[in-house]
Amino acid sequence: MIIPPANRLQTVEEYYFSRKLQQIRRMIADGIPVINLGIGDPDLPPSEATIESLSESARGPRNHGYQPYRGIPEFRGAIAGYMAERYGVPFDPATEILPLPGSKQGMMYAAMAFLNPGDGVLVPDPGYPTYTSVSQLAGASVVPYVLDERHGWQPDWEELERLDLSGVKMMWVNYPHMPTGTPASYELFARVITFAREHGILICHDNPYSQLVDRGNPLSIFVVPRAREVAIELNSLSKSHNMAGWRIGWVAGRNDYIDTILNIASNVESGMFLSAQRAAIAALGSESGWYTRLQGEYAQRRTIGMQIMNMLGCVARPEQAGMFVWARIPDQERHAEVFADRILGTTHIFVVPGSVFGKNGSRYIRLSLCSPPAILQAAGERLAGFLHRGRTGMEAV
């Protein structure tokens, strides 16, 4: 006798990267020198002060017990201070900030907290696949909204208005956008908030890449007046402070929205490790030079990534932000997944097909900048050598 899984799992499948990384591990075990340019996993360390804070606190014999579900006051205060300083938006740390074990967990909490079975959820295509999976796990109905290059990877508002929005309760938004790297702007956020207020939709803005901008200041959706009526914002230390494995994030919003999410969080977790909170306080207190240096590092890597895309015959928009390069594949290529698999099979360089992020990504590939410049340059040299060995153009890969 075999006990069947829950019906809800029929709507989701194993994460693409989980499957693909198994293949790459097998290739490496077989002696194939794969260069992995697929995953957005920062290779740089957190600040020294962050590591020292963790180490010092972890030595405290009384620092290993359960912690408050809302996090310690000092941590919430550090988050509120960070948002005021970096984004210019004030929050009450006692009622409008909730620490999370990573913003991905927060996505599940938000879906469970606000969505009933059958509710509609607007999800970007292309977009982060987790928006779809958490919505489906909550029993909601996913309504994709188109992002395409013609509209600068921003919503087509006329098309959105033509949809039947009567049952839509939530909309996932993410700028700087993953995977396309489209930067945030005040005008975009203002349009999102206007749309949400007109239709009574809760905006869930996912904002982990906001510090990784080469030009301009980082933005929060809360810079728009009255955004708090219809929006919450998720953020984390994963990308902005090189702390992906630490699983530290938060959600910000008006107090009743935060309390609603806390009802879910308090039933499935038991508070964050105190020493991790202490370290996060140190990370959030980083001086402005920390972010400038991080932005400069990714700008240098992006230059190399753009060169690799050019060698592959792909076309990338220059104004991208974040830790990836998104590029359109050559016209003669049939599909991004076939193209990416051929690159992996022939050059042993792993890039991600844009179809992973939705059908509107089927003509694009994504390259991660989470490798040192030397590795990126090695990938470029490997590709150049392959192209030079009697092959020209995209026929080489």
Task: From first to last of the 397 residues of the chain, give the pLDDT tens digit.
Answer: 888 888 887 776 666 777 888 889 999 999 999 999 998 999 999 999 999 999 999 999 999 999 999 999 999 999 999 999 999 999 999 999 999 999 999 999 999 999 999 999 999 999 999 999 999 999 999 999 999 999 999 999 999 999 999 999 999 999 999 999 999 999 999 999 999 999 999 999 999 999 999 877 899 999 999 999 999 999 999 999 999 999 999 999 999 999 999 999 999 999 999 999 999 999 999 999 999 999 999 999 999 999 999 999 999 999 999 999 999 999 999 999 999 999 999 999 999 999 999 999 999 999 999 999 999 999 999 999 888 665 544 455 5
* CATH at residue 361: 3.90.1150.10
233 - beta bridge partners?
Answer: 205, 252
Total number of domains constituting the chain: 2
Bond prior to 124 in cis (omega within 30° of 0): no
213 and 99 share a domain?
yes
Pairing of strands 141-146, 168-173: unpaired
Asked whether 35 and 379 are in contact (CB, 8 A), the reply is yes
CATH code, domain carrying 110: 3.40.640.10
**Cα separation of 354 and 121, whole Å?**
22
- Quickly list DSSP for 70-124: T--HHHHHHHHHHHHHHH-----TTTSEEEES-HHHHHHHHHHHHPPTT-EEEEE
Count CA atoms closer than 13 A to 180's CA, side-chain side. 29
88 with 164, same domain: the answer is: yes
In a shared domain, residues 41 and 52: no
Claim to verify: residue 30 and residue 137 sit in the same structural domain: no
pTM: 0.94
| 36 and 59 together in one domain | no
Same domain flag for 41 and 93: no
**Is 1 among the domain residues?**
no
Is residue 381 in some structural domain?
yes
Q: Domain boundary at 249, 265, 287, which?
A: 287
Q: Are 184 and 265 in a shared domain?
A: yes
Which residue, of 253, 287, 321, is where some domain finishes? Answer: 287
Q: Are residues 165 and 182 in the same domain?
A: yes
Assess if residue 312 is contained within a domain.
yes
- Provide the β-strand partners of residue 124: 145
Same-domain check for residues 40 and 56: no
> What are the structure tokens assigned to 306, written together?
């753009």
Residue 324, strand partner residues: 368
Domain boundary residue among 287, 321, 355?
Answer: 287
Owner of token pair 């938000």:
110
Domain assignment of residue 327, given as a range: 7-45+289-390
Residue 2 domain flag: no
